[in-house]
Amino acid sequence: MFFIGIDIGGTGIKAGIINEDGHILMKDSIKTGADRPYQEVVRDIAELCNSLISKMQLTTDQIESIGVGVPGICDQKTGVIPFCTNLGWHEVPFIADMHKYFPKLPVYVDNDATVAGLAESVAGVSAGTQSSVFITLGTGVGGGIVINGRPYSGSHGVGSEIGHMVIRMEGEPCTCGKRGCFERYASATAIIREARKAVADHPESMIMQLCENDPENITAKTVFDAAKENDPTAVKLFNNYVKSLAHGIVNIINIVDPEIIVLGGGVSNAGDFLLNAVREAVKPFIFYKTQPYATILLAQLGADAGIIGAAMLGKH
C-alpha cells in the first residue's frame, strides 16, 4: 500500500506518495495562494493528490490514507482546524472537506513540526527509537514529540508547543501574548534581533562586513559565520544563543526524558559548529549527573520531513 503526505506552508504546498518504509516515490508542489478562499486551497490540494496518483499509475484503492501537516493545530475528534494563522484559517472543517474529494480514504492532520518529528523517527536520524523530540529552529521554534513510536499532540491537539514554554520570567514579549518564551531566544528571529542591537554598539564587528553594512541583511548564518572567525561580538551572540537553546533542551529532558533530541530547521544548517556547542552547554544543566540522557543530533530529512511525516500519520 501507499500513503500520501501533504505539507502545507504559507507560500507552498508539497505533496508526495510514500511507501511503507517512509521513502518518497514521487512528489510535486504548488503555490498555496493563502489569500484565496479556503475552499479553493482544499480543491487544489485534492487536485495535487489526484495528479500524483495518476502519474504513479495508481488508483485511490491503492492509497492507504492521506496525511497532512499544517502550521497550526487540528482537533482530532472533529477534524476541524481551529487555528492556522499563517493561512488565515480559523475553525475550518478540513477533514470533512477533504472527504468530499476522497470519501473512502482516511484523512489525518497534525501540526507541521509534529509530523517532521515523526518523519525523523520513521526514516531519519531517530529511526528505531521509541521516544524522541524534534525541535525546529526557524522563524519561530516548533516541536514534535514522539512517544512509543507515535506522535503526541496532547489531549486537545495543542501539545508539543515547546516554543512557548517560558525560559525567562518577564523576558522578551512573544507573539503569543506571554513574555520570555523559548522561541524569543532560540529562533533565527531571536538571533537577528540581538545581532541588530549588538552592531549598533559595535559597528566594527565582522557581522557588519558580512551583511554589507546593512543590518537588515543580517541572518543567523551571518552571525554564525562571524563567530567561526572569532569575531568578539558574534562569539558573544552565539554563546548567548546556545545557552538559551540549552536551557530549553534541558527542560525537555527533565519533562519527557526522550532517547534523542533532534535539531532541525534553518538554524540547524550550522551543523557541527552549533551541535557541538549545544551538547557542551547542556551538560552542566543535567539534573541526574550520573544517569544517561538524550543524545542530541541534527535532523537528516530536511525539506522532505513534512511530506514523509504527514504520510506516516496513517501508519502510526
Domains 2-111+304-312 and 125-299 fall in the same CATH topology: yes
Q: Give the domain 2-111+304-312 fold.
A: Nucleotidyltransferase; domain 5 (3.30.420)
Q: List 287's β-bridge partners, or say none.
A: none
The domains of the chain are located at 2-111+304-312, 125-299
| Superfamily, domain 125-299 | ATPase, nucleotide binding domain (3.30.420.40)
Global pTM? Answer: 0.92
- Give the model's confidence band at 295: pLDDT under 50 very low, under 70 low, under 90 confident, else very high: very high
Torsion of CA 289, 292, 296, 300, to 10 degrees: 180
The mean of the pLDDT values for the chain is: 95
Residue 34 banded pLDDT, cuts 50, 70, 90: confident
